[in-house]
């Protein structure tokens, strides 16, 4: 190996080459679908961002944000001045001072509490609860979407690996054919043309393996990206695609209309719009508030009869206000809120129709692919028997190499179609589970 490379350089190059080779499947940790989904829930950026938004909505759902709690403020301040004072009293006394200093210290604590605002605080509280629920529903939408994407990507890796295994089996068979042709040529039972044709077919099969290895590597990279891992992270997947065969369309339909996350989020959004309407309508009611405070004022001056003054005491009061006219803005906002409720109803109806349509399409696709799987299984059995017969006949010289190649190609195509049919049936099952809020499997 590398006969023209200096020995010292070869000792450095060979370890680097070994590191660049793909890690064999037996040396890679097995990654199940549930483990992959679990990794995506903690590492996928879309899920993490939706969880952060939900955390904000959760933090906003407080009594204080709704307006139930009072506000308490503390104030303090110091003011000073230098004045020139000249004062003449009735007694004839005259006081004349330059740069006379004075200072005033003020401090206080006050409590303000809106005890009635036209029920706005109650509606605001309900709106905040629904916004928190909407945040949780949005997280669930993101989780289900990512879980479905991970399941598709995971079984794509399984599919690509199965196709690669098929092509590698074909290469092994073609290598046997080349060796058989070479031996026949050495004893004079065939021409060199048969050897050359066998090598051409072998190289074509090896080329297909190389292309398939690229497809497999791409699928693995896509899955690692969804899991929030580095693209080159090694892993192994299961070697079979198991498709559920006991599915019931009516069960999926009823569950989808009750559990679909997009539909549930739209229904929550409608309730938010209802609370918003009630909040706007609170502008037609009066507002009543109470206040309580304690204030301290102390002043000192070098000019004047009073050298110092100190006042402190409690203050309290009740206030009421009501808007009589604000340019019809409350009417306008009320009408807009009603429009948003009507739009939410349209959105829910549209989503319901879309869910039912997508579900029916997925179910039709599932049934079609299951029938195709059964057909391709039968075709594969026939193609396998045909190839076995062709091999036996070829070894005894009863058929020409072209006939063996045709049987070999038919076997590869049948198995590849079966792998694809199983993968597509699994995709349809995944879509049914996603639409109905089911757990990926």
Res 90 pLDDT > 80: no
SS3 content of the chain, % helix, strand, coil (to 5): 65, 15, 20
pLDDT of the residue at 306: 64
Spatial contact of 373 and 243, defined as CB atoms under 8 Å apart: yes
Q: Which range, of 67-76, 170-179, 369-378, averages the lowest pLDDT?
A: 170-179
Could you give the CA distance from residue 162 to residue 222 in angstroms, rounded to a whole number?
Answer: 17
pLDDT of the residue at 116: 92
Q: Which range, of 88-92, 253-257, 271-275, 359-363, averages the lowest pLDDT?
A: 88-92
Instruction: Tell me how crowded residue 123 is: count the other CB atoms within 10 A of its CB.
Output: 22
Backbone angles phi, psi at 136, to 5 degrees: -65, -40
Mean pLDDT of 336-348: 95
Report which of 361, 408, 378, 367 is spatially closest to residue 167, judged by C-alpha positions: 408
Could you give the CA distance from residue 20 to residue 253 in angstroms, rounded to a whole number?
Answer: 50
Tens of pLDDT, residues 253-302: 999 999 899 999 999 999 999 999 999 999 999 999 999 999 988 888 76
Res 63 pLDDT > 50: yes
Mean pLDDT of 98-117: 87
Instruction: Tell me how crowded residue 59 is: count the other CB atoms within 10 A of its CB.
Output: 10
Superfamily of domain 27-67+117-286+328-435: Outer membrane efflux proteins (OEP) (1.20.1600.10)
pLDDT of the residue at 405: 83
What contacts 308, CB < 8 A, 6 or more positions away? 298, 299, 300, 301
Q: Where are the domains of the chain?
A: 27-67+117-286+328-435, 74-114+287-321
Mean pLDDT of 390-411: 82
pLDDT of the residue at 409: 86
Distance of CA 411 to the CA centre of its chain: 41
Could you give the CA distance from residue 106 to residue 80 in angstroms, rounded to a whole number?
Answer: 12
pLDDT of the residue at 193: 83
Res 20 pLDDT > 70: no
Q: Which range, of 97-101, 196-200, 267-271, 291-295, averages the lowest pLDDT?
A: 97-101
Report which of 395, 405, 304, 326 is spatially closest to residue 100, judged by C-alpha positions: 304
Mean pLDDT of 46-70: 93
DSSP state of 118: T
**Residue for token digits 């903690």?**
42
Spatial contact of 295 and 106, defined as CB atoms under 8 Å apart: yes
Tens of pLDDT, residues 405-419: 888 889 888 999 999
219, HSE (Cβ side, Cα atoms, 13 Å): 23
Q: Which helix (H) or strand (E) holds 242?
A: none
Sequence-ordered alpha helix ranges (H) in 95-189? 120-186
CB-count exposure of residue 218 (10 Å: 0-12, 13-18, 19+): middle
Q: Phi-psi region for residue 31, left (φ > 0), alpha (ψ -120 to 50) or beta? A: beta
- DSSP for 367-395 reads HHHHHHHHHHHHHHHHHHHHHHHHHHHHH
């Amino acid at each position: 190996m590398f006969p023209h490379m200096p020995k010292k350089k070869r000792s450095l190059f060979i370890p680097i080459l070994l590191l660049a080779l793909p890690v064999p499947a037996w040396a890679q940790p097995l990654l199940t679908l549930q483990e992959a989904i679990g990794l995506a829930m903690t590492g996928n950026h879309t899920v993490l961002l939706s969880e952060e938004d939900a955390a904000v909505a959760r933090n906003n759902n407080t009594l204080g944000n709704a307006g139930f709690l009072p506000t308490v403020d503390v104030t303090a301040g110091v003011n000073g001045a230098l004045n020139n004072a000249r004062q003449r009293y009735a007694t004839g006394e005259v006081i004349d001072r330059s740069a006379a200093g004075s200072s005033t210290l003020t401090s206080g604590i006050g409590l303000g509490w809106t005890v009635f605002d036209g029920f706005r605080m109650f509606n605001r509280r309900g709106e905040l609860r629904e916004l928190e629920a909407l945040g949780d529903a949005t997280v669930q939408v993101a989780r289900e979407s990512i879980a479905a994407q991970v399941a598709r990507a995971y079984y794509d890796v399984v599919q690509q690996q199965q196709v690669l295994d098929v092509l590698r089996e074909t290469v092994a068979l073609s290598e046997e054919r080349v060796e058989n042709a070479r031996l026949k040529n050495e004893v004079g039972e065939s021409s060199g043309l048969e050897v050359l044709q066998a090598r051409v077919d072998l190289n074509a099969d090896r080329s297909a393996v190389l292309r398939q290895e690229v497809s497999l590597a791409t699928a693995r990279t896509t899955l690692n990206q969804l899991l929030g891992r580095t693209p080159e992270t090694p892993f192994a997947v299961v070697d079979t695609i198991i498709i559920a065969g006991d599915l019931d369309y009516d069960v999926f339909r009823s569950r989808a209309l009750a559990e679909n996350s997009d539909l549930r989020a739209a229904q929550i959004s409608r309730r938010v719009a209802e609370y918003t309407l009630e909040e706007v309508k609170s502008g037609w009611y009066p507002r009543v508030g109470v206040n309580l405070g304690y204030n301290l004022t102390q002043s000192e001056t070098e000019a004047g009869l009073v050298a110092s003054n100190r006042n402190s005491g409690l203050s309290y009061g009740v206030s009421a206000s009501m808007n009589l006219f604000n340019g019809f803005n409350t009417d306008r906002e009320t009408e807009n809120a009603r429009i948003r409720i009507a739009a939410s109803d349209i959105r829910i109806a549209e989503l319901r129709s879309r869910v039912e349509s997508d579900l029916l399409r997925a179910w039709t696709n599932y049934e079609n692919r299951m029938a195709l799987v059964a057909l391709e299984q039968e075709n594969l059995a026939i193609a396998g028997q045909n190839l076995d017969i062709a091999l036996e006949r070829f070894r005894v010289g009863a058929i020409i190499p072209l006939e063996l190649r045709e049987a070999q190609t038919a076997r590869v195509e049948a198995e590849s179609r079966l792998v694809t049919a199983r993968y597509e049936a699994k995709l349809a099952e995944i879509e049914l589970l996603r639409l109905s809020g089911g757990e990926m499997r």
